Structure 1
Amino acid sequence: MFGIFKLALKLLTNDKGKFSALLMGVTFAVFLMIMMMSMFSGILSRASSSIDNVGAQIWVLDPAVNNVSSSIPMPDYVLDFAKSIKGVKHAEPIYFGGALVKLRDGTYQGVTVIGLDDATLYGRPNLIGGRIEDIFAENGFIVVKDAEFDKLENPVIGSEFEINDHRGKIVGIAKVSQSGLFGVPTLYTTYKRAITYIPSSRFTMSFVLIESKSPEDVPYIQDQIQHLGYQALTRDQFTNKIANFYKFHTGLGINVLIMTIISFIVGLSISGQTFYTFILENLEKFGALKAIGAKGRELVAMILVQTTFTCLIGYGLGVGLATSVMILARLRMPDYAAQVTYTNLSLAFVLVVIIAAFSSYVGVRKVLQIQPFDIFRG
């Protein structure tokens, strides 16, 4: 059988033109599929970046909220009720809002302002410059150094700006695990300063952040909050809710799905057609093998080896090409949202297996119909 496999690979690679066309078809299909799915994964990850950056265990929110950027303010009694629940270690308010910052050159830049609880600063970022205590200073703000940092003219500690006709001063520079989705810089300040500087409705509290005494207390806390008419979601549950919103309630999910299907069809059609042409051009060789005693299962094994070898190499080249393009794009555009995940790689591999199976079926069907006397008679 080893000799059959070696003969199959020699027969495949001998025609460099057809072999290159097969590789290009599979590689291009895998490249498009990986790029589309990685872009979608990156967008979903960026959409829930605030949840990861704050790091709270439980988020209390209005049931109508579907992402962090469109929070619905809640009355203060929600915070008081959360603190009174058995099993709650502590509960703190947090504010998320948008504002316009006037820079030194007179231009305006939209920012996301996060207001931390004045007493605990729960959810504060890690500082790489300055002191966290300085956030209590007059007009103190902490800026996040991420992909959007330069949009604020690369501020340093002591830089001043104007936010909604109020003076602001950078007292710290922070680093977070992920940048936001919409290309907007992020500023942290105290809760009271945030609701003072940014116009808001009667209620100002965007979310309540809860830390439970033990993981066993989480279901009871969620049940109590639900009786109040609000939702208490764990970090993973809130992330999944945001992901489901972008997948099923926006055009993003269906567009990426359509592009992935198109990429799959392109690879399927190119590889199937090219491999069928390859089989037609090598019918005499398969017929000769059959005439000298090669069994049908051995010919089938040859075709399976050829398609598997081609698709695996094409898969590797496609993944490598997509990864290289993403790395180059991120070097040129720091806010480029794309990431390769095991799910993306696994799904692309499954689709490549389907392409290989289809190509094998096309070849096997033709080879099994070969009659040796037809070959020699021709």
Structure 2
Amino acid sequence: MNWLALRMLTGDRSKYLSLILSITFATLLMTQQVSIFMGIVTRSASQIVDVRDAEMWVMDNKVRYIDEAPYLPTNDLQRVRGVTGVEWAVRFHKSNMTARLEDGNFRNIIMMGVDDATLVGAPRRMVTGDLGDLRLPNAVFIDKSGYEYMWPGEPFRIGREFQINDRRVILAGVCKASAPFTTLPVLYTRFSEVERFLPSNRNLMNYILVKPAEDRDPLDVCRAIDAQTGLMALTNDGFFWKTIDYFMGSTGIPINFGITIALGFIVGAAVAGQTFYLFTLENLKQFGALKAMGVTNVRLIGMILLQASVVSGIGYGLGMGMTAIFFTFTNRIAPMAGIHMTTVAASGVGAAVLIIVLLTSVFSLRKVLFLEPAVVFRG
């Protein structure tokens, strides 16, 4: 019977290919949009992910996301260090600045100021240069995508000089960093260099990076810091999701992508359902003949589910393959770098395709289950 079901499925090539293409298109559209959505939202907290030395962030208790952090008084650092369970705590700076290149052009940048002594928060994956070079006078690191944005088409060259707030800086290394939400170049330097760029600001520390003691639960240490200092302490994961929650609730990104994903599901279900329903109608006489021969409804259900499974499996595989090819090429474009197909997107879309298959099968099964075998003898 399975062989007969497959022969019936492939008998009409046009409808067979239409079914596969509808599932393929729905899979491609949904997987692409879900993956891009996840990549863009993750970028909003990419600087949190890149700090691998510390386990906790301490900030003003009104901070809603990473780009909205007022500066803290210097004595807050000592107050945090005095909390029981804190192994060490260092200052950290993040702000937007403007760089002036050798040719006079300006570029907006994201500046990260790390602790002078420990370099906690500095990038660990270098393309060229050495981490220790950040301790050189006027030294800055720039992320790879940022270098290509500021000096497009030019090879990596250490020692380039440019200006930040009329202060001379020297490029000491190119690093790998997660792409930020705004796709601006990310520069790293020591905290003392930031003080040179912004001498008029009395306080320049807007975050304190903390490492809890080995025998202490980070969440317990966070609560202790909250209680003793009045500041807000979050684990890396906690701050990551707090930032993402802000962007999810304060921007139109979820709605826009949600509409596109829903349209992909609706179009895929509608086209596949209509085509599969018409396919079943055209084969009612064959199903009637099988019922007249004594084939049970359970067996007929199995045949239709097999047909739907074959179509959905091929369509899902083709859609995933086309999505992978899409991201392979788009990853070469700077704004799309780092956005790729995720396992969450693939599994979620797989579940959506399964729902489409079940819906189309239900509509087709209604005709078959209530079919009178005498239909085969009608003209």
Instruction: Confirm or deny a common fold (TM above 0.5).
Output: yes
Unaligned runs of 5+ in 2: none
Structure 1 stretches of 4+ moved >4 Å:
199-202
What amino acid sits opposite 1:44 in the alignment? V
Tell me which residue corresponds to 1:117.
115
Cα distance in 2 for partners of 1:365, 1:268 equals 17
Unaligned 5+ residue runs, structure 1?
none
Q: In structure 2, how many angstroms separate the alpha carbons of the residues matched to 1:119 and 1:333? A: 33
Contact residue 179 and residue 338 of structure 2 kept, 8 A: no
- Counterparts of 2:116 and 2:25, CA distance in 1: 54
Matches within 5 A, 1:19-98: 19-55=16-52, 56-98=54-96
Q: Does 1:193 align with 2:190?
A: no
1:294 aligns with 2:295: yes
Going from structure 1 to structure 2, the CA distance change for 1:136 and 1:148 (only over 3 Å counts) comes to: closer
Offset, 1:337: 5.1
- Residue 222 of structure 1 is matched in structure 2 by 222
* Correspondence for 2:161: 160
**Structure 1 residue 29 displacement after superposition:** 0.7
CA distance in 2, matches of 1:157, 1:182: 25
Aligned equivalents of 1:331, 1:215: Cα separation in 2 = 44
* Offset of residue 215 of structure 1: 5.6
Determine the C-alpha separation between the residues in 1 that align with 2:355 and 2:190.
Answer: 55
Paired residue secondary structure (2:121):
coil
Q: CA deviation at 1:32?
A: 0.8
Could you say what secondary structure the match of 1:208 adopts?
strand
| Secondary structure of the corresponding residue to residue 259 of structure 2 | helix
CA contact (8 A) 2:57 2:210 kept: yes
Q: How far is the alpha carbon of 1:159 from its aligned partner?
A: 0.5
The answer on whether the counterparts of 2:323 and 2:341 sit within 8 Å (CA) in structure 1 is no
> Does structure 1 residue 273 correspond to structure 2 residue 277?
no
Structure 1 distance, partners of 2:309, 2:336, is 37
TM-score (norm 1): 0.93
Superposed CA offset, 1:214-239 (max 9, x none): 26342332112222322211111111
Distance 1:280 1:148 in 2: 59
SS at match of 2:103: coil
C-alpha RMSD of matched pairs (Å): 1.8
Which amino acid in the other structure matches residue 142 of structure 2?
V
Give secondary structure in 1 for the equivalent of 2:331. Answer: helix
Cα distance, 1:78 vs structure 2: 2.1
Instruction: Tell me if structure 1 keeps the 8 A contact 2:57–2:233.
Output: yes
Residues 332, 186 of structure 1: CA spacing in aligned structure 2 closer, same or farther, 3 A cutoff? closer
1:99-119 deviation line (CA, Å, top 9, x unaligned): 111111211111111111122
| Residue aligned with 2:318, SS | helix
Cα distance in 1 for residues equivalent to 2:131 and 2:370: 77
Q: Are 2:98 and 2:107, in contact at CA under 8 Å, matched by a contact in 1?
A: yes
TM-score by length of 2: 0.93
Q: Deviations over 1:217-276 (max 9, x none)?
A: 423321122223222111111111122122222111122112111111111101110011
Aligned to 2:129: 130
Q: Match for 1:75: what amino acid? A: P
Q: Report SS of the residue matched to 2:63.
A: coil
Q: Deviations over 1:259-313 (max 9, x none)?
A: 1111111111011100111011111111111111111111111111111111121
Preserved CA contact (<8 Å) 2:35 2:339: yes
Residue 16 of structure 1 aligns with which residue?
A: 13
* Stretch of structure 1 that moved more, 55-64 or 267-276: 55-64
- The number of aligned residues is 373
Question: How many angstroms does 1:175 deviate by?
Answer: 2.7
